[in-house]
Amino acid sequence: MQRRTRVKICGITRPEDARLASQLGADALGLVFYAGSPRGVDLQQAQAIRAAVPAFVSLVGLFVNPERKQVDDVLACLRLDCLQFHGEEEPDFCQSFAMPYMKAVRVRSGTDPMVAMKAHRQASAILLDSYDPEQAGGTGKRFDWTVARHCVDRSPLPIVLAGGLTQDNAARAIKEVHPWALDLSSGVEKEPGIKDPQRLQAFFNEVNRVRI
């Protein structure tokens, strides 16, 4: 049976971008709660975005090596559907919030992502992203997709592909990797945190024409 590939648009900073991405077909939107990111949002921004998200679109909160209090403070003020941990968080920490979570694994040469993936077997999904020593994500860089396809073939968990995705390679990514979902931020932006309507539309056009 053929299926469509799901899409998460991350790094949302404005309600209007949340509305547009949802209208175009996003399954999930990502809010970045990390001060080191140009796409980071505060709670006031996040609440305004939450109000713009329609039914059946999930809101994901992204954290990078957070203190427990940071996550608790966000959850006390904002309804999230899923947590995303993008640092070196331990499985016990990720599971301790009694919420679905997605664990990001940054793929680097000479390492096997399956090691981290097996440790996080309680995750709802594993996100594979490019490794960068300076940035935790949103680099716009690709990694070797044969590694991602190998993980898709071996992992019992859904695999989300990130890193360097654009309208130009979305269809190829789906055909080569067979991911559960694509996750992107910089590939549909005018500038960090500001989504480009034309790039968003073109990206969804490419995703929607491919079934696996």
Q: Which active-site residues does the annotation give? A: 10, 129
Share of the chain residues as helix, strand and coil, in percent rounded to the nearest 5: 35, 20, 45
Provide the strand spans (E) within 86-176: 101-107, 125-130, 159-162
Closest CA to 174 of 130, 204, 139, 131: 204
Torsion of CA 7, 104, 189, 134, to 10 degrees: -170
